[in-house]
Amino acid sequence: MLEQLSVLPPDPILGLAAACRADTNPNKIDLTVGVYMDESGVCPVFNAVKQAQIQLVSDEQTKAYLPAAGDAAYLSGMTSLVFGDELAGNGSHITAVQTPGGCGALRIASEVLAAASPSATVWISDPTWPVHIPLMGSVGLKFATYSYYNPLSHGVDFDRMASDLKAAVAGDIVLLHGCCHNPSGADLTLDQWSVIADMALEQGFTVLVDLAYQGMGSGLTEDVQGLRLLASRLGELIVAASCSKNLGLYRERTGVALFFGKDMQTAAATQSHGLGAARRVYSMPPAHGALLAGRVLTDPELRASWETELAQICGRMIALRTQLSTKLSEKTNQDFSFIASEKGMFSFLGLSVEQAQGLRKDPGIYMLDSSRINVAALNDRNMDIVVEAVASVL
Ligand X SMILES: Cc1ncc(COP(=O)(O)O)c(C=O)c1O
DSSP string across 56-118: HHHH----PPPPTT--HHHHHHHHHHHHHHHHHSTT--EEEEEESHHHHHHHHHHHHHHHH-T
Cis peptide preceding 363, ω within 30 of 0: yes
To the nearest whole angstrom, how small is the minimum distance from the Cβ of residue 135 to ligand X? 8
**Catalytic: which of 212, 267, 287, 356?**
212
Using alpha carbons, list the distances in angstroms from residue 121 to 124, 129, 141, 201. 9, 17, 6, 17
Which lies closer to ligand X via its Cβ, residue 101 or residue 248?
Answer: 101
Catalytic, 129? Answer yes
Interaction site with ligand X (CB under 6 A): 34, 101-103, 129, 177, 182, 210, 212, 242, 244, 250, 255
To the nearest whole angstrom, how small is the minimum distance from the Cβ of residue 253 to ligand X? 7
Q: What are the residues facing 123 on neighbouring strands?
A: 144, 174
To the nearest whole angstrom, how small is the minimum distance from the Cβ of residue 264 to ligand X? 28
To the nearest whole angstrom, how small is the minimum distance from the Cβ of residue 327 to ligand X? 26
**Catalytic: which of 245, 257, 277, 306?**
245
Q: What is the dihedral of CA 89, 95, 101, 103, to 10 degrees?
A: -120
What letter does residue 220 receive in the DSSP assignment?
T
Cis peptide preceding 127, ω within 30 of 0: yes
Catalytic, 212? Answer yes
**Catalytic: which of 69, 71, 129, 257?**
129
Which lies closer to ligand X via its Cβ, residue 164 or residue 210?
Answer: 210
Catalytic, 331? Answer no
Which lies closer to ligand X via its Cβ, residue 177 or residue 273?
Answer: 177
State how far Cα 227 lies from the chain centre: 13
Catalytic, 210? Answer yes
Q: How far apart are CA 105 and CA 286, in angstroms?
A: 13
Which lies closer to ligand X via its Cβ, residue 70 or residue 101?
Answer: 101
What are the residue numbers of the active site?
Answer: 129, 210, 212, 245
